[in-house]
Amino acid sequence: MKHAAGTLAFIARFVVIGLAAAFVISLLWPNVGNRLRQHFGVGQPAVESSAATAPAAPVSGPASYADAVSRAAPSVVNIYANKMVTEQAVQMYTDPVLQRLFGGRPAGPAYKKREQNLGSGVIVSSQGYVLTNNHVIANADDIQVLLYDGRVAKAKVVGADMETDLAVLKIDAGNLPVIHIADRHAVRTGDVVLAIGNPLGLNQTVTMGIVSAIGRQLSSGSPEDFIQTDAAINLGNSGGALVNTEGELVGINTLLIGKAANAEGISFAIPVASAKKVLDQIIDTGHVVRGWMGADYTFVPVAADSGLPAAARGAVVTDIYPGGPAAQAGIQPHDILLRLGQEDIVDPADLRRHEAALKPGSKVEVSGLRNGTPFRTEVILAQRPPQTPTASLDG
């Protein structure tokens, strides 16, 4: 018994000494146990290993865009533009010989018939201003607007701008749902967008696509650029809303390149920043005013651009309008224009935008290269003459 008791006392003292030593080691070398377990590969919880190696969950888009549509759709209206056209009945000769000789002939007096053009529009002001496309309402005698809640209002044309193909209408109605306009820098290539409009009379139709490109130039002579999208656009969509996934207006749908050009999924919208500028000017003055130098431009050839900063590529003058501001300032064909006022010129489209943004009558310094030699001159801008759209419009 005495021997057993002595053994137990010895074991107890050994355990106490061991625990004390472990405590001291843990104080002097923190995490030594974890390092030993990692070294020998024992004691690691399985859940830690799986958590450390598990990949991040992929980010996916929303399962539905119904919330965006519910915010934007009430602001999109149907437009019915009516006009009377004159036609003349033609009656064919019944005798085959006379048909070959004379074809048809007028059969009595001319008659008039009513034609209706379908389109879409967007309510942009509680005062009743509606943005749409000019080609939807051009030459219309009567314009009716169908609101989301079923009300019908007669519209009058406040003004139109052919270069952007935009028109501003005014309706007299209360409690109007005004669309929320997105930040001007909110659109990026690859963003999901929704087109809302009245294609083929199917009101409040929603289609989805992505922004295929921004800053598209549809005419070398126009200062305006467009958003390209693959959202489905059809006849009647013109003037409708292009919105982001928050239901905010990012553009006004305007045209598509259809199957006649062997193209699918290529549509264009006017950026909301451009549309807002047109809207404000038409409300203020009834028309849009743009600055003009009286010259045409093209891209700088690579050889002519050697040694120039990449951020100031410039534009080459191709033609000068006789008697225009550029001619009066001594600008010549083949001049490379690098700077307009305080702005570096990136390319011809960039020059057009800066030029159009200046007020007619303002004086601006132009600098560039002529036969490799720097030059400066001052141009007094005129008002840009009316321009007709060069693209064929559909939708």
Tokens representing 118 are 């379908």
Active-site pick, 75, 120, 212, 238 = 238
Taking the CB of residue 75, how many other CB atoms lie within 10 A of it? 23
Active-site pick, 135, 212, 267, 354 = 135
Residue type, 374: P
Active-site pick, 75, 120, 161, 165 = 165
Identify whether 165 is a catalytic site residue: yes
Identify whether 3 is a catalytic site residue: no
Q: What residues are labeled active site?
A: 135, 165, 238
